[in-house]
Structure 1
Amino acid sequence: MLKKAFFHIISWALLLVTVGVLIGFIILYHLNKDLPDHSTLKNYSPPVLSRVFSSDGRLIGEHAQEKRIFVPYEYIPPKIIHAFLAAEDQNFFYHKGIDVLSIFRAAMTNVMSNGKRPGGASTITQQVARNFFLTNELSLVRKLKEVILAIRIEQVLSKERIIEIYLNQIFLGNRSYGVAAAALRYFNKSLEDLTVPEIAFLAGLPKAPSTYNPKRNPQAAMNRRNWVLERLWKTGLIEEGEFRAFTKHPIELLQRDETENVRADYFQETVRKELIDVFGEDAFYGGGLFIKTSLDTRLQTICNEVFPNALLDLDKKHGWRGAIRNIADVEKDPNNIKHWMEYLHAVNVGCIPEGWRLALVTNLESTKTTLITEEGVGVISMDTMKWAGAPLKNGVPGASIKSPDQALNIGDLIFVSKIKDNQYALQQIPKISGGMVVMDPHTGRVLALTGGFSFQQSQFNRATQAMRQSGSSIKPFVYLTAFERGVKPTDTYVDEPISIHLGQGLGTWTPKNFMNEFKGAMTVRRALETSNNMVTIKLAQKVGMKNVAKVIKKMGIIDKPPIQLALVLGSGETTVYKMTTAFAIIANGGKKITPTVVDWVQDKEGKMLYKHDDRKVDFLRASSWDGKTIPTISDTRTQIVDPAHAYMITSILQGAVENSPAKTAFVPGQILAGKSGTSNDSKDVWYIGYSANLVVGIYLGYDVPQGLGKMATGGWLAAPIFKTFMEKALENEPAIPFQVPSNAKLYRVNKHTGQATLPNDPDAMWEIAWQKDRIFETEEPSETSNESSDKVDSIPADRSGSEPTEQHASHPGIL
């Protein structure tokens, strides 16, 4: 009987085991069928952030969906590996993917957890499996899959490779993936420079990066950090004394040093768009590209200072547009300083410009305004806010105010900037905007760029995207067309009223000069220097509008220029980016250039993917070098404008700078050329100017075009920005003359008649003749033939035909 009972028990046990095994095999079969291919980890290549650098190697931006810097295992400091293992998987180097003892310990803890969220016992290998192939779903099926994948991963990858993948893949908060990116994000340090407490902080983050964020939950972050330090002590990695000392260290987050970063938001956005067009979004945001740009940090810093300040000054001339809003309760309780400081901290008004603060007006007196900022009580002196009169009306600004209550009310929420101590200045975000481009004329490299007052306020890049009427800044290319078809700077035309019949039913067009004045006979040089409309139209009629349009297209200003006479006075639309490029071609002597913000791009392994400068260098063998011959670099630029014709334009625009009565673009001690532009109704104003090695383009206007005020011109508004920029950019730099090309000759002419003259003529000046096939079209009088054959490398600063101290005749205007 006992034997029979024992036999039944054994039979049932075997049956149960068999069924269990069969069920296990069925479960494993179904789980295996749905498991992803873990062998893909052999070729693990995570998305890595792309980094953008200036021409001098300073970081200006990082781009990534997941901010990650990949670091191979051999370059990860052992102390970091030990810390993460102590916090996450102390038996990592001893188990085969799962840690049975840890699973049992976690199970017992979960039984005692009274219904709380169960804790895990996942090894680092299991975390790798989950992060790459599974979800965070809490289920037995997911856990079983995780276990199976972990075991298989251990069979195909070494422990070193697994920990390398883990430390480069793990999310550590603040959009940081991997320990290298997190070290920079939290402490602005490389891995080898991290202290033990900093490493412990990072090692404590994988469990819950948001929970242990030191800004959001400082005490929780401290407790977690100290727990990791305790694990390091108990596993013998640090001494007890070190543990006690380290736990007293505060968690000090360090932002990246401002001297390492350069603010170039619009420039960086231009880089981003250009490279996404070339490489695509996946490569740009995850390819770990190393991007060397053309940005000159010194020039960009000057641009960041000069351009926004100019917009602020110009906007203030148009009056005060009012407070952001009014908080009526302030008048009831103006002395509750703490309450209003808390309000200012919490209120949302969008982006606040750098260096500005929000303030609430609490009291108005005849000589000052009392206000509250987040820093406490402050004042605005009446002397600093006289500009805050009524806004521009019919092109005329309102009168200056005489007391603060003419502009402000108690309870007004306003922007202010700090002057010193508790003294502030009233500010408003300018409605007037614009763009500025600084370019190397020889290469097309964009050295600095800004597209508005603040990128945070508006991402619209007015340097590259704002299509605006060019005004008179287009005229040099009309004159270039004329020079290419035989017109000379000395030719004379009559400045007189013109009426042009536009065709049947279209009426008559009667253009005017800016001041509606007519000067009679003048040379072509004088006409361009003074931006004369009538002579410009006559030249266009002489050479033909189709030819003018071809030149404008060739120079890259307008893709499809309209064949209309109004085009020569600036009715066509373009961007300051394109216009600056066109002037750069004139400045470099007529060589075609392609503007670029990128010098070169390498992938994460250092392979060159793109290079803007494709010139070839003729290298010399050291064994055969004579010590004197210099390697040559081939010039691959296409000559699209005759050098003599380009120089004629430069010479005339140099005169426009030097002989303007207001000197709005003139920089003493420097040799500059430039041209202003003003569109209809003064809606858009321009100035494009250059030295021998630097071209600067400036456009100003409203985003929704409207007049900038009566008598507003590029010469009065944009040229001073050019002047201020060049004063700073060329400070301590020697004046470099514009070089006379080999196919041009200088000869003396009378500046009024344009006729060749003798050296003793008091109105003599240097003029340019074009040499075609080495034969000069213009010769001086025979009495000076010996002198005229002398080689002149550059025009003197005043281009006088007698002594350099003579000055050119002044100009009637600065359009």
Structure 2
Amino acid sequence: MSKRANWLLRFVVSVLAGALLITAAVVGAAPHAWRVLNAHDQVPVRLGALGGLTSRSLITDWKGAQIGVFEAESTKPIRLATLPSDVVGAFLAVEDSDFYGHEGVNLRSLVRAALANFQYTGDRQGASTITQQLVKIEFLGGLPRDGRYKILQARYATMLEKTSTKQDIVERYLNRVFLGNNAYGIQAAAEVYFGKSASTLTLEEAGLLAGLVRAPSSYDPIRNPLRARKRFGQVLERLVDTGLMTAERAAALGDPASPDYFRLPETKREAASSPTSRTYISEMVRDFLLNRSTILGDSYAERYNTLYRGGISVRTTIDKEAQAHAEEAAEKLPPNSAGIESALISLDTATGAIRALRGGSGFVPGRNEVNLALRRRQTGSSIKMFVLTAALEAGVQASDLIDGTLPCTMPNPEQPDEPFRISNGVSKPTTSLAEQTWLSINCAYARLAQIVGLHRVVNGIYRYAKSPWLTPETFRILPYASLSTGANELSPLDMASGAQTLANGGLHHEPWFVAEVRGASGALLYSQEVNGPAVTVTSRGLPLTKIVQPVLAKNVADQAVDILKQTLVRGTARRTPLADGRVAAGKTGTQDRNTNAWFVGFTPQLTTAVWVGDPKGYTPMTRRQVPEFRADLAAIGQNGVVGGLYPARIWKAYTDAAQVSMQDTYADSRPDWDAPPAAVRNPVRLYLPGLDCIAEVVSGRLPAKVTGTWTTVVPTVPPAPAVPAVVGTTIPPPSVPTTTLPGTATATTAPATIGPAAPTPTAPLGPVVRVVDPGTTIAPSVTDPTVPVVGVDPDRFLVYDCTRGVPPRIRTTP
């Protein structure tokens, strides 16, 4: 036998043996396959309602404008009836052109794909019908891809075709198919890639999306444009072959290799009409719904699933236009190389609702997630507005006199061996508290805080600014001697919350931002409404109304506002009055070495806090450190950023714009605050027992103006009609031994003259005073904010530095 014959024989034997082996394998596997198939004969294969699909949850502003989205996967159901026939046809042409001719499995397509894949080494053809693909998505997720997987897929597909219509199957498929970039379903993909609804897609746009089904990542038009163009060319050929597109229309798109060929889409996820990126506001909403409430369920898992897959809607208190103004106003801070940023939060004065919040330059997951509007930093002098308020509660008046001479050394209750010394800032000898406030005099306010009682000031801050973020349990404010110069750290939200109390006549509403939560069906899950002092919260169908009591007497709030108005007229923010003469009040703040700068300002409608600084640390914002600020600093004669510069400018830009855009909202709001009540007594001289000593005038008259820390000057605020001379505790009778100091001056020698000798001149005698007990400071055990402080009639009492003694020319008597 020839070699050729032997080779042919061996070949035939091998083929027969292989055939026998395949037959045996098939016969052996057939019973197992039969059991697998029939094991599922009784399993119902039905599609749930379209409304049961995973659906994104929406965040809106208080008027209903969308401002954010929560989604585990980007999906948004859409009805088949709303889609153009060409859009549906494009997916059928590319993925299953015989969809209406098969019963779940297309054997001809299976054979065709197998032959094509055997002969061609490029992109492989799929054999699954749309029904099989849907079965894979809906029923077989997570199953191992073993030998029975394809059998189950085919079996489920045929069963599904028996229980569902073709329309139901294709509708479900178009809402579930993954199309890349976290887009599940054609509506989500249309928004992600084209920034539009699927109901307005063109045939070309639908074709591009249909081409993504086979390999969404490989054909991603954003990350892999070359592959995407090639794939799109293949899709066009298919559309032409099926008659869905004419050859002329396809040719009109040009050469697929050309850069001008059908412009590929760019992601539209940042589009204002359908934002899906995380923001500082959405993160606050997320934290509230997942960690601070049980609105969406008792367990965290239940709340998370409802928020990210339940299709709920969350209406916030944010005003979309005001938010845009906040972002625009931030541009008043020049771009800089030092990383200096700004934060802003704005509350509705009457209700405490958050209308705008800018937490920084932009939320970036994993890199820039800190919300600067909630982050605490040293406050500088902006805290003085709360020291002022605590003093007014204790009976102090705007016209009362206090010393602000620089430098000054104050007692340090926390560390008695280390007195608190202030050597920077502006010096202002004794004058009215109102003027010391406008000019933000550190020595005056360090003295005032201890006169009132540091612990009472701290208690006052907790009352004025209370919120879920600021309570004695959640954050400790310490009664430092340096409290009034900003030693404690507070957030823009804390500062705005406290200022809202002043601006709202003493009625404090804690900041809030979730107005309403509704389920996918529209059922109300939660709501909050504020109407005057009434706060109504409805949760799980149960409404509860609480009447909020004022935390501050209205007349005290009106006095504080009246003083703080002048900050914008003749004080530290005089360069930034609001447009059109709009009434406003506020307080600047600048921390040591210009590391933090603040402006907290308010109108009868909006209360806003602005912070400027380095989020990464306490960087001095000086001409040397931040060269981009030099021109602005030179223009106002400052070496470093102060609260009256960028923070006040940002506040003004925001408030001017927001007041105009929200004028309809505040059409019935009052244009100004009520005038404070008239003074009930004459001005008194405030003093700090232990640091300041007092002496009562026995005879003579105190000089109108003398140099020194004990100086008394003519009040800058006109006095009221005659009233009692002492405010606070009555000065007791003399109980301290006194020392008489020399009261006469040394005589001088006159030059010799002809004639009678002239009398020897003598200096006029000064007033005679009697040293009296100054009393004591307010004890820490005293918690009543209305317990009065000590003060004396400036015409009857001399206030002087205890360490220096009674000034020369003033005589003392027992």
Q: Same fold (TM over 0.5)?
A: yes
Residue 686 (str. 1) matches residue 598 (str. 2) = yes
Residue 24 (str. 1) matches residue 47 (str. 2) = no
C-alpha change, 1:537 and 1:108, in structure 2 (3 Å) is closer
Which residue identity does 2:599 align to in structure 1?
Answer: Y
Residue 509 (str. 1) matches residue 422 (str. 2) = no
Preserved contact between residue 572 and residue 588 of structure 2 (Cα < 8 Å): no
**Higher-RCO chain (CA-CA 8 Å, sequence separation at least 6):** 2
Counterparts of residues 441-590 of structure 1 (less than 5 Å): 441-455=349-363, 459-495=368-404, 499-502=409-412, 506-512=416-422, 514-515=424-425, 517-520=427-430, 522-554=431-463, 555-556=465-466, 559-590=475-506
C-alpha change, 1:431 and 1:149, in structure 2 (3 Å) is same
Which residue identity does 2:214 align to in structure 1?
Answer: K
Report the count of equivalent residues.
Answer: 614
Give deviations 1:706-734, integer Å, cap 9, x for gaps.
Answer: 33335653234532333344444456979
Which of 582, 585, 605 pairs up with 2:521?
Answer: 605
Aligned counterparts of 2:49 and 2:148: Cα–Cα separation in 1: 27
Preserved contact between residue 511 and residue 534 of structure 1 (Cα < 8 Å): no
Aligned partner of 2:4 in structure 1 is none
Which of 293, 304, 308 pairs up with 1:285?
Answer: 308
Aligned partner of 2:202 in structure 1 is 195
What TM-score do you get using the length of structure 1 for normalisation? 0.65
Counterparts of residues 397-796 of structure 1 (less than 5 Å): 429-455=337-363, 459-495=368-404, 499-502=409-412, 506-512=416-422, 514-515=424-425, 517-520=427-430, 522-554=431-463, 555-556=465-466, 559-613=475-529, 636-660=547-571, 663-667=574-578, 669-702=581-614, 703-709=616-622, 712-730=641-659, 737-740=671-674, 745-746=677-678
Preserved contact between residue 439 and residue 580 of structure 1 (Cα < 8 Å): yes
Which residue identity does 1:572 align to in structure 2?
Answer: N
Which residue identity does 1:563 align to in structure 2?
Answer: P
Preserved contact between residue 221 and residue 264 of structure 2 (Cα < 8 Å): no
Which residue identity does 1:551 align to in structure 2?
Answer: G
Preserved contact between residue 495 and residue 534 of structure 1 (Cα < 8 Å): yes
Q: Which moved more, 1:503-512 or 1:691-700?
A: 503-512
Aligned counterparts of 1:49 and 1:766: Cα–Cα separation in 2: 65
Preserved contact between residue 48 and residue 70 of structure 1 (Cα < 8 Å): yes
What TM-score do you get using the length of structure 2 for normalisation? 0.65
C-alpha change, 1:31 and 1:484, in structure 2 (3 Å) is farther
Counterparts of residues 63-462 of structure 1 (less than 5 Å): 63-113=70-120, 119-132=125-138, 133-134=140-141, 140-215=147-222, 221-222=228-229, 224-225=231-232, 227-228=234-235, 231-232=238-239, 235=242, 250-251=262-263, 253=265, 256=268, 260=273, 265-277=279-291, 278=293, 279=296, 280-312=303-335, 315=336, 429-455=337-363, 459-462=368-371
C-alpha change, 1:20 and 1:493, in structure 2 (3 Å) is closer
Post-superposition offset of 1:490: 3.5
Aligned counterparts of 2:656 and 2:503: Cα–Cα separation in 1: 19
C-alpha change, 1:284 and 1:645, in structure 2 (3 Å) is same
Post-superposition offset of 1:523: 3.3
Percent identity of paired positions between Structure 1 and Structure 2: 26
Post-superposition offset of 1:663: 1.7
Preserved contact between residue 536 and residue 568 of structure 1 (Cα < 8 Å): yes
Aligned counterparts of 1:683 and 1:762: Cα–Cα separation in 2: 35
Post-superposition offset of 1:291: 3.4
Preserved contact between residue 683 and residue 701 of structure 1 (Cα < 8 Å): yes
Larger Rg: 2
Aligned counterparts of 1:29 and 1:293: Cα–Cα separation in 2: 56
Q: Which runs of 5+ in 2 are unaligned?
A: 1-21, 256-260, 297-302, 535-544, 623-638, 687-713, 722-814
Aligned counterparts of 2:681 and 2:640: Cα–Cα separation in 1: 35
C-alpha change, 1:528 and 1:165, in structure 2 (3 Å) is same
Q: Superposition RMSD on alpha carbons, in Å?
A: 4.3
Which residue identity does 1:445 align to in structure 2?
Answer: A
Aligned counterparts of 1:640 and 1:212: Cα–Cα separation in 2: 62
Aligned counterparts of 1:662 and 1:158: Cα–Cα separation in 2: 71
Which residue identity does 1:745 align to in structure 2?
Answer: P
Post-superposition offset of 1:635: 9.0
Q: Which runs of 5+ in 1 are unaligned?
A: 1-15, 316-428, 619-633, 755-760, 769-815
C-alpha change, 1:660 and 1:438, in structure 2 (3 Å) is same
C-alpha change, 1:173 and 1:123, in structure 2 (3 Å) is same
Aligned counterparts of 1:209 and 1:38: Cα–Cα separation in 2: 31
Post-superposition offset of 1:22: 7.9
User: Which secondary structure state, in structure 2, belongs to the residue aligned with residue 697 of structure 1?
Assistant: strand
Aligned counterparts of 2:454 and 2:101: Cα–Cα separation in 1: 84
User: Which secondary structure state, in structure 1, belongs to the residue aligned with residue 477 of structure 2?
Assistant: coil
Aligned counterparts of 1:614 and 1:38: Cα–Cα separation in 2: 51
Aligned counterparts of 1:76 and 1:676: Cα–Cα separation in 2: 57
Which residue identity does 1:515 align to in structure 2?
Answer: G
Aligned counterparts of 2:565 and 2:210: Cα–Cα separation in 1: 64
User: Which secondary structure state, in structure 2, belongs to the residue aligned with residue 472 of structure 1?
Assistant: helix
Aligned counterparts of 1:718 and 1:214: Cα–Cα separation in 2: 43
User: Which secondary structure state, in structure 2, belongs to the residue aligned with residue 48 of structure 1?
Assistant: coil
Aligned counterparts of 2:42 and 2:439: Cα–Cα separation in 1: 75
Post-superposition offset of 1:272: 4.2
Preserved contact between residue 670 and residue 736 of structure 1 (Cα < 8 Å): no
C-alpha change, 1:237 and 1:665, in structure 2 (3 Å) is closer
Preserved contact between residue 311 and residue 432 of structure 1 (Cα < 8 Å): no
Preserved contact between residue 590 and residue 642 of structure 2 (Cα < 8 Å): yes
C-alpha change, 1:77 and 1:638, in structure 2 (3 Å) is farther
Preserved contact between residue 134 and residue 142 of structure 1 (Cα < 8 Å): no
Aligned partner of 1:796 in structure 2 is none
C-alpha change, 1:244 and 1:25, in structure 2 (3 Å) is same
